[in-house]
Amino acid sequence: MSSEDVDLKKRKFLSQATTAIGAVGVCGAAVPLISYLTPGREAQMSAKAVEVDIADMKEGEQRTVVWRGKPIWIVRRSVAQVDSLKKLDAQLSDPNSAIEQQPGYAQNAYRSIRPDILVLVGVCTHLGCAPTYRPEPQSIDETWPGGFFCSCHGSKFDMAGRVYKGVPAPTNLEVPPYHFLNEDTIVVGKDRA
Ligand code: FES
């Protein structure tokens, strides 16, 4: 990883952007991303790969960073959340990630390099709203095992970003290019060389 790939000077900006997006999530508002992530100076600032320290993330915790003007979710999945993925295939539109919404190294049962760490673009594949992270079982309906919910038009995604059948979103959530620099550091926006 060369120094120009990861612009550490942008960390302050990313921290501020993360706080802003987190505030939207707390309010539970389904805000079309276009309304606050229009291409501009901020998007350009985060166009380079983004280095994320995940050492202090707890099981079940979600973190958001910005890459190319898009919110990128990082979730440290618990064992129970990983196990939940095995039971949902019949309810999903594309359980095997046949549609290219992820790099080849994430075309697996977890849609990730490591089962415990999920990395997704946090933009609904229907019309671009911002889904919210709803990990609590039964918080959307009686059968809800936890996942991501887009309240704009009711699209549901599991804990790997796979879309359920019968909702407006046509495809799974996108997985961006990324790799692990070490055990506790993810580089979002660049495949391993
Ligand atoms: S934008 Fe998410 S369901 Fe329509």
Probe residue for ligand 1, chosen from 150, 157, 164, 174 as the CB with the greatest number of ligand atoms within 8 Å: 150
Q: What is the mean pLDDT of residues 39-63?
A: 81
User: In b/e form, how buried is each residue of 128-139, taking b as 16+ CB within 10 angstroms?
Assistant: ebbbbbbbeeee
Tell whether ligand 1 has an atom less than 6 A from the beta carbon of residue 49.
no
Domain boundaries, the chain: 8-188
C-alpha distances out from residue 46 to 17, 19, 53, Å: 10, 15, 16
Gap from CA of 130 to ligand 1 centroid (Å): 8
Q: How far apart are CA 176 and CA 43, in angstroms?
A: 16
| Structure token pair of residue 110 | 């977890």
Gap from CA of 153 to ligand 1 centroid (Å): 5
Tell whether ligand 1 has an atom less than 6 A from the beta carbon of residue 65.
no
Confidence of residue 136 (pLDDT cuts 50, 70, 90): very high
CATH of domain 8-188: 2.102.10.10
pTM over 0.85: no
Please tell me which residue, 30 or 165, carries the higher pLDDT value: 165
Gap from CA of 37 to ligand 1 centroid (Å): 16
Residue 21 has pLDDT above 60, yes or no: no
Q: Which atom of ligand 1 is nearest to the CA of 128?
A: 1
Q: What is the 3-state secondary structure (H, E, C) of 101-167?
A: CCCHHHCCCCCCCECCEEEEECCCCCCCECCEEECCCCCCCCCCCCEEEECCCCEEECCCCCEECCC
